[in-house]
Structure formats: structure tokens, C-alpha cells
Amino acid sequence: MTQLFWYKFIFALELITAEGVFLYKLERRSHFVLRLILAIVAIFAAAYLIPIFDNGGILNSLLIFFSLFFLSLVLAQVIFKESFLTVLFCGIAGYALQHIAYQLFCLIANLFGMGGEQAVGLYGKAQAFPLDVRTLPTFILIHVFTYIAIALFFGRKIKETGEVKLRSKQLFFLLFLSALSLIVVNMFIVSEASENYNFTYIISCNLYGALCAIFILALLFALLENEKLKLENEFINRIRAHEQKTFKQSKSNIELINVACHDLKYQLRLLKQDGMGDGERLKALERAVEIFDSKVETENDTLNVILTERMIECYTKNVKLNCMVNGKLLSFMNELDLYTLFGNALDNALEAVLQLGEDKRVINVVTSQTGSMFSVLISNYCARPPMMVDGLPVSTKSDGGLHGYGLKSIKRITEKYGGDMRVRYDDGIFNLSLLFSL
């Protein structure tokens, strides 16, 4: 039996393992284990049934590798509850990973002369099977190391990104064709190397093949990350547009409340002067009016609106909001940025303290100046330490609520004005600090 016959099974094992590096974290269908076992049986059965022609040439290799690759995509669709684009992305990444490990094995084996005067390539026209007591440990170690390294560096990004959404489909399929072209070129190299051994040529081809596959894999995930950032920016911009409308409405609401409170206080004074109504009831009504008339004064009209609005909301939810703010020092920000920054920060803080007992429903907003540096600190009690990713807390909720896009928006606004944002959790207290240079 030829090398190519045995390599069908080795390739099938390499491919499904490499694709698994990117697929295993995705959403699984019911009866996952049974589906997986049947899929593995199916791909090895296909490897056995694919015929080997007499010369085992390029066309035979194309038939084997591409048949098993496309079959693996179909089987992945049966196992995982994902779109075809997601499966195809993971399949291409898996094929690139398999090729990287294969080329690195060939490079090491040929560098150390494990094939003697014959190139080591696992398949070709020679009859001797190259995996012996010398090459087998090398083959296993290189594949295990490569798969683990790529899984740690790239594999985790699939789960972080979620569903693969690629609008630049032309570029994606260009990468797909590039990966397939690389495999085809390698087949010609292997065919040539099995007949005419040239050490420099073989080593150069092995190194070039590995680097090209690494480059394709890096481009795939760069494309994925770029699409993720585009979607996030669009989402944040939609939020900003909504916040602009909300800000205008909030200004109107606060003005109406102030006018209404002023009129009510005037009417209450008249009632007291006329000796009408129950004294205790009038006092209770006066206290309620005072709460809604308690405007926050910071020397910044926009900040007054957002803090007064949140002060009223906190009162209705039995949360204490303490403010020691010099809004004059924040005059360098435009109205919408200021509203968005403090609105998101206070919304996050309010959501966190509402999960706690009444004694810990406290939010503090403090600004301070030291020389040319100006800082904002918003702190609140928090039930548990937040999970951090890339220096930012992430939500554990499916709707991405607490410390999700809000903090990303705060970070963008802070950096827009040359500031620095930090988050810290100390002894049950979550601190959001912003530092600006005046």
C-alpha cells in the first residue's frame, strides 16, 4: 500500500482535530456526543472508500483532501447549531492549522535528515511509509504543540466574537481561495520532491508553506476582529443617536418638573395661609415637592440635567446618590458626550446597587483637581467582582447590560478628550475613575 493510502486516515484525523480547535466552543445541537461519534466514523469511512489511482498523482490528492475537507464542513453543520458561514470560517482556519503543523513537521524532519536522502512528506509516490520510530514522536509532538499554541492564540477569539458575521465576503472568499491554492501548490511540491531530492528546495518550500498558512490564519482573524469592531461602532453610534434624543427630552422634563414644583410650592403656601387642609398631609406633600425640586447645581447645565434626573430616579428606587461635583471643569466636553458619559456610568452603578440590600444602595460621584489634572470618581457597592476582558468588565447577561457597551462608550469618550479610564474592584466596591489633563 502507498503512502497516500495511509495518509488519507492521518489527514482525516489531523483535519477534524484542527477544525475542532475552532468549533468546539460553538453552540452544539442536541445529542452532540452521538452526532460527533457518527461524524468521526463517517469521515474515516469516506477516507477508506476514496480510491487510490495507480500513480497516486496530483488529481488523486486533490480528490482525497478536498473531498474530506468539504465532507467535514457538512458534518460540522450537522453537529453544531451555527450558520454555514461560521462553519466555513472555522473549516478554513482548521485547514490552515493542519497545514501549518504538517509543514512544520516536514521542516523539522527534513532539517534533521529523518528521511535520509529522501524528503519526508508523509505522502507521495514512494512505497515506504515514513512514520517510523524516529519520525512518529516528532510528528505527534509538533502537532500537539502547534494545535495547542494556535488554540490559545486564535481559538479563544471565536467564542469571544460569537457568531461569525462577515460583510466583507469578497475578501473572506479570497482568503478561502488563497488557502486552497496553497494546498494545491504543496501537492505539486510533494510530487516533485518525492522524485528529485534537493535539500535547499525542500526546506525552503516547507518554511514558505508554513509561513503562508500562518499568514492566512492571521488574516482570517484580523478580518473577523475588524468586522466585530465595525459592528460595535455602529451599535454605539445608534445608542448615541438615541441618547441625543433622550438628552433633549430630559432637559424638557427637568424644566417641566421645576416649573410644576414651583407652582405647587406656591399653592401650598396659599393653602397654609388660608388654614385649609390637614397640617400633617400638607407637610408630607411639601417634603415630596422638595425632593422633586432638589436640583443639583454643578455650574454645568448639562451635568445639572443628568444628575438631577438620576437623583429623582434614585429617590424613587430608594438609592442614595451623593454628588460632590465641580461641573465647571468639565466644560471642555460637548453636551452629548457629557450626558452619555455620566448617564452610562450612573446607569451601571444604579443597576449594580439595586441587586443589594438597602444599606448598600449608595452611589458616590466625586470630582477633584490636582494641579493640571482633573479626575472623576464614580463608586458604588457591587455584589461580586466583575469578569474582566481586555481591561473592561463584561456582562454575564445575554442582553449585554451591566458594564457592557456603556463602558466601551465611556472609554471612547474619555480617550476622545485625551483622558484615561480605569476600573477597579476593592472590597465590594466598584470604582470607575476618569483622569483628564486640563
Host domain of residue 80: 3-234
Same domain, 302 and 230: no
Residue with cell 470618581: 377
Q: Using an 8 Å Cβ cutoff, are 295 and 304 in contact?
A: yes
Residue 122 falls inside a structural domain: yes
Distance, CA of 298 to CA of 301 (rounded, Å): 8
Same domain, 205 and 112: yes
Q: Residue 425 maps to which CATH number?
A: 3.30.565.10
Degrees to nearest 5, angle at CA 308 with 303 and 311: 125
Residue 291 falls inside a structural domain: no
Residue 120 falls inside a structural domain: yes
* Residue 420, all three cell numbers: 484615561
Provide the number of structural domains found in the chain. 2
- Domain end among 180, 208, 234: 234
Question: How many Cβ atoms are within 10 Å of 399's Cβ, its own excluded?
Answer: 7
Per-residue pLDDT of the chain (438 residues; tens, 9 = 90+): 667 778 889 899 999 999 999 888 788 999 999 999 999 999 999 999 998 876 656 777 788 888 999 999 999 999 998 888 888 888 888 999 998 998 898 888 888 877 555 555 555 554 444 566 677 888 899 999 999 999 888 866 665 555 566 666 666 777 777 777 777 777 676 666 556 667 787 788 888 888 888 888 888 888 877 777 776 676 666 656 656 656 665 665 565 555 555 555 655 565 565 565 556 555 555 555 555 545 677 888 888 888 888 887 887 788 898 989 998 888 888 888 888 899 889 988 998 999 999 889 999 999 999 888 999 999 999 988 887 776 677 665 544 444 456 788 888 889 989 999 999 888 889 999 999 987
Same domain, 22 and 142: yes
Say whether pTM exceeds 0.85: no
* Residue 218, all three cell numbers: 492571521
Strand order of the sheet with strand 362-370? 320-324, 362-370, 373-381, 429-437, 420-426
Residue 417 falls inside a structural domain: yes
Same domain, 79 and 177: yes
Residue 255 falls inside a structural domain: no
- Domain end among 219, 234, 249: 234
Same domain, 198 and 313: no
Question: Helix, strand or coil for residue 420?
Answer: strand
Same domain, 8 and 115: yes
Residue 251 falls inside a structural domain: no
- Domain end among 234, 264, 288: 234
Residue 258 falls inside a structural domain: no
Cα–chain center distance at 209 = 30
Same domain, 213 and 314: no
- % pLDDT > 70, the chain: 69
Residue 352 falls inside a structural domain: yes
Distance, CA of 89 to CA of 165 (rounded, Å): 10
Same domain, 208 and 312: no
CA-only gyration radius of the chain, Å: 32
- % pLDDT > 90, the chain: 24
Same domain, 50 and 182: yes
Distance, CA of 262 to CA of 265 (rounded, Å): 5
Same domain, 318 and 431: yes
Distance, CA of 77 to CA of 178 (rounded, Å): 23
Same domain, 171 and 303: no
Give pLDDT tens digits for 62-95: 888 889 999 999 999 999 988 888 888 888 889 9
Q: Using an 8 Å Cβ cutoff, are 374 and 359 in contact?
A: no
Same domain, 309 and 224: no
